Amino acid sequence: MSTCVVPKALCIFWFGFKAITVDGCLTQMFFLYMFATMHSSVLVIMAFNRYVAICEPLRYATILTNARIAKLGLVGLIRAVLLVLPEPLLLQRLPFCANRVILHTYCEDMAVVKISCGDTRVNQTYGLVIAFVIIGIDLTIIGLFYGLIIRAVLRMSSKKAHQKALNTCTAHICVMLMSYTPILFSTLTHRYGQGIAAHVYIVLANLYLLVPPMLNPVSYGVKTKELRDKVGKYTCRM
């Protein structure tokens, strides 16, 4: 997601290139939210992976074959395109006011909607519904998998097995919190946060793009002994 936004944002901050065409803005918006939807699908697939690893370990290689993983990825891609594509198309039909200043470092959907002079109720409703449909469905599926995982863990007699199974899921849970929390706050504040300062919207939108990719490697790497030893070694030197 960051690759859709960071180059343009750096051009704004470093060179003062603040202009963007309407088509460029809508293209950036499409790819940004398409990748965001795909990222949510990846989290669902990861939850399925955890479920198979813990609940069906002997069948792991036969269930999660390369072909099946590729099909799951393709389904996530098709879903993302079908759900996100109407959003820029709906925006394209709107007239825009003389003041075309977007108070964001990228083409955030609600920021673009707010500079339109036309009737934006359809755009606002569609954006809100799609956000909650994607997050709601994906979180429900993830919750189902984790419910099955917890049931399987509770049936284990060994405490060591309990700990190992739960440690397997820790990084995934941290990544989900970092991914879904900023987007929920950003979506809700844009639509219902009356009287909130503009810089709050901008900070929330930037956190949504920057925090997950920055902290994901930390979440997955913190359990790696070699990485912990290296970090401890260089920290002690400082």
55-112 pLDDT, tens digit each = 888 888 899 899 999 999 999 999 999 999 998 888 888 888 777 788 777 888 877 8
**Residue 161's pLDDT is what?**
65
Domains and CATH numbers, the chain: 2-91+99-219 (1.20.1070.10)
The pLDDT, as a whole number, for residue 192 is: 65
Residue 103 has a CB neighbour count (10 Å cut-off) of 13
- Pairwise CA distance, residues 28 & 20, whole Å: 10
Helix (H, G, I), strand (E, B) or coil at 7: helix
Whole-number CA gyration radius for the chain: 21
Phi, psi for 133 (deg, rounded to 5): -65, -50
Query: What was the pLDDT predicted at 108?
Result: 81
CA 208 to each of CA 24, 50, 185, 186: distance values in angstroms, whole numbers, following the listed order? 21, 25, 9, 8
Look at residue 116 and give its three-state secondary structure. Answer: strand
What is the spatial distance between Cα 113 and Cα 4, in angstroms, rounded to a whole number?
A: 19
Query: Tokens 């990861």 — which residue?
Result: 46
Which pLDDT score is estimated for 228? 67
At residue 193, the pLDDT reads 61
What pLDDT sits at residue 102? 81
Q: Could you tell me the mean pLDDT of each successive run of 10 residues in the chain, 238 residues long?
A: 66 75 86 88 90 87 91 93 91 80 80 82 84 87 88 75 70 78 72 68 76 74 69 64
| pTM of model > 0.85 | no
What is the CB-side half-sphere exposure of residue 142 using CA atoms within 13 A? 21
pLDDT (0 to 100) of residue 130: 86
- pLDDT given for residue 79 in this prediction: 93
Cβ burial of 134 (10 Å; 0-12, 13-18, 19+) is: buried
Q: What is the pLDDT of residue 72?
A: 93
**What CA–CA distance (Å, rounded) separates 191 from 186?**
9
Helix (H) or strand (E) holding 145: helix 121-155
The pLDDT value given to residue 81 = 94
User: Which residues pair with residue 96 across a beta bridge?
Assistant: 116
Which pLDDT does position 206 carry in this prediction? Answer: 77
